[in-house]
Amino acid sequence: MTVLNDHEERAALLAASANAAEDRHAAATVETILLAGRPSLRGFLRFVDRNAIASPDRAALAEEWQAAREHVRALETAEPGLAEHPEIRPLGPEYEPLLIELLKDPAVRPGFNFVPTDVALVELDRLVVFQRHIDLTFARHLAETLGPAPSRDTIFRTCLPFDHPAPPVEWSRVRRDRFVFVSPSNDLRYLGTMSLQSAHITGYPVRGTLVGAVGLGVGFGGNFLNAVYAENRLILTNGSHRAYALRSLGVTHAPCIVQHASNRDEVDLVAAEDVRKAPDYYLNGPRPPLLRDYFDPKLRKLFHARRFLRQVTIRFDVDEAFIPAV
Q: What are the distances in angstroms from CA 105 to CA 11, 269, 301? A: 56, 23, 38
The pLDDT assigned to 260 comes to: 97
CATH of segment(s) 84-131+139-165+222-292:
3.90.1530
Rounded Cα gap, residues 35 and 99, in angstroms: 34
pLDDT digits (tens, 9 = 90+) for 91-107: 999 999 999 999 888 88
Q: At what angle do helices 152-159 and 96-103 cross, to 10 degrees?
A: 20
pLDDT digits (tens, 9 = 90+) for 220-249: 877 899 999 999 999 999 999 999 999 999
pLDDT digits (tens, 9 = 90+) for 68-90: 999 999 999 999 999 999 999 99
What does the angle CA 150 – CA 152 – CA 157 come to, to the nearest 5 degrees? 85
Instruction: Judge contact between 71 and 36, C-beta under 8 A.
Output: no
The pLDDT assigned to 239 comes to: 93
pLDDT digits (tens, 9 = 90+) for 104-156: 888 887 778 889 999 999 999 999 999 999 999 999 999 999 999 999 999 99
The pLDDT assigned to 95 comes to: 96
Band (3; pLDDT cuts 50, 70, 90): very low
pLDDT digits (tens, 9 = 90+) for 178-190: 999 999 888 888 9
- For the chain, where are the E strands, in sequence order? 29-35, 88-90, 117-123, 133-135, 170-175, 178-183, 188-196, 213-220, 226-230, 233-238, 253-260, 300-306, 310-315
The arithmetic mean of pLDDT across residues 159-177, rounded, is 88
**pTM score, two decimals?**
0.83
pLDDT digits (tens, 9 = 90+) for 284-301: 999 999 999 999 999 999
Is the pLDDT at 26 greater than 70, yes or no? Answer: no
Is the pLDDT at 20 greater than 60, yes or no? Answer: no
Is the pLDDT at 11 greater than 60, yes or no? Answer: no
Domain boundaries, the chain: 84-131+139-165+222-292
pLDDT digits (tens, 9 = 90+) for 35-71: 999 989 999 999 999 999 988 899 999 999 999 999 9
Band (27; pLDDT cuts 50, 70, 90): low
